[in-house]
Amino acid sequence: MANCSLCGKEDLMFTCPYCRGVYCADHRLPEGHGCAGMQKVKDGARQKIADSFTGQYDDEEYDEDIITQARRVRVKKPRRRRFTDAEVKDLGIASVLTILVSISIMGGPPIGILNGILVLPGFFLAGLWWFPLAVIFVFWLSFMIHEFAHKFTAQRYGMYAHFRMTIQGYYLSAVAILFAIPIFGTGVMAVGGVSDTDDYAKSTVAGPLSNLIVAGLLFITAEIIVITSGALSQPVEFIIFYGMLLNSFLGLFNMIPIPGFDGSTIFRWSRPLWVLMTVSLLFTLLAGYFVIPIL
């Protein structure tokens, strides 16, 4: 028994003859896992058909100008869709769950979501309408930046990347919504068509690295504002502070070096890189707690 390269399900596995990936029964067909090697097979088949006609006719039977013009014709290949309909649906579900988690965090334990719904009107009545909107937006954006970094990096290296909700994701989201825990576990970015372990590792690094970059840029922005204007306004200070904490926590959470987390792949691929990213994320997390609030 092994795990499917696309969905992670443990099942009787099948090896794709084109990309050599290992998939479950649901994704064993090339069309089922968006096989990157299929295009090479199709191109080879077309070339064999073209070669089978070579030499059947004499060159003098054709007008040279017509042949030259025919060679200049370019066939426009259809662009691969970055997002499937199923993926858009799952991203929509994940967005709703992420928003509910952010509302729950504003409410706090023991029953975060109920407390959050009760305190929301108070912010608007007190003129702090920007506060809940900033919490929701920063929370949602931090999640999306992480997942899209995985997806676009995988696609950049020719792999198939598809965000999908999981049963575990629903359970984790329910716990986070009920008990106001900032868990980013709604789904996974399933990657298929892996032909190079280094490329796959780079697509894995991209997620927590994007959160580290965002947290670092927010810290630098806070320093620049303090140096140039002397102080941070309340909304700006909160957005920077909250953004640093969320992105640092999300990055650290995914750097856990056990299977199921990005950190497991990164730790096996490059331990020095894992240590560097973990320490850097810990620094931005502590800076968000102790440095930004006193600027």
User: Which of 192, 204, 147, 195 lies closest to 32 in space, CA to CA?
Assistant: 192
Q: For the residues 9-29, what does the mean pLDDT come to?
A: 71
Strands (E), 141-265: 160-165, 187-192
CA–CA separation, 15 and 123 (whole Å):
55
Q: Say how far apart CA 295 and CA 283 lie, in whole Å.
A: 17
45 pLDDT higher than 80: no
Sorted by where each starts, the structural domains of the chain and their CATH numbers stand as 2-72 (4.10.1110), 85-294 (no CATH)
Q: What's the pLDDT tens digit per position in 144-163?
A: 999 999 999 998 888 888 88
CA 223 to chain centre: 29
How many Cβ atoms sit within 10 Å of the Cβ of residue 274? 21
Matching residue, tokens 């965000």: 163
Per-residue pLDDT at 70: 47
pTM of the model: 0.66
Per-residue pLDDT tens over the stretch 191-234: 887 777 888 999 999 999 999 999 999 888 887 877 777 666 66
Residue 221's closest CA among 280, 292, 289? Answer: 292
Residue ranges of E strands in 75-126: none
Mean pLDDT for the chain overall: 78
Tens of pLDDT, residues 76-129: 444 455 778 888 999 999 999 988 888 888 877 777 788 888 888 888 888 888
Strand partners, 11: 2
On whether the CB atoms of residues 105 and 182 are closer than 8 A, the answer is yes
Question: Among all chains, which residue has been given the structure tokens 């691969």?
Answer: 80
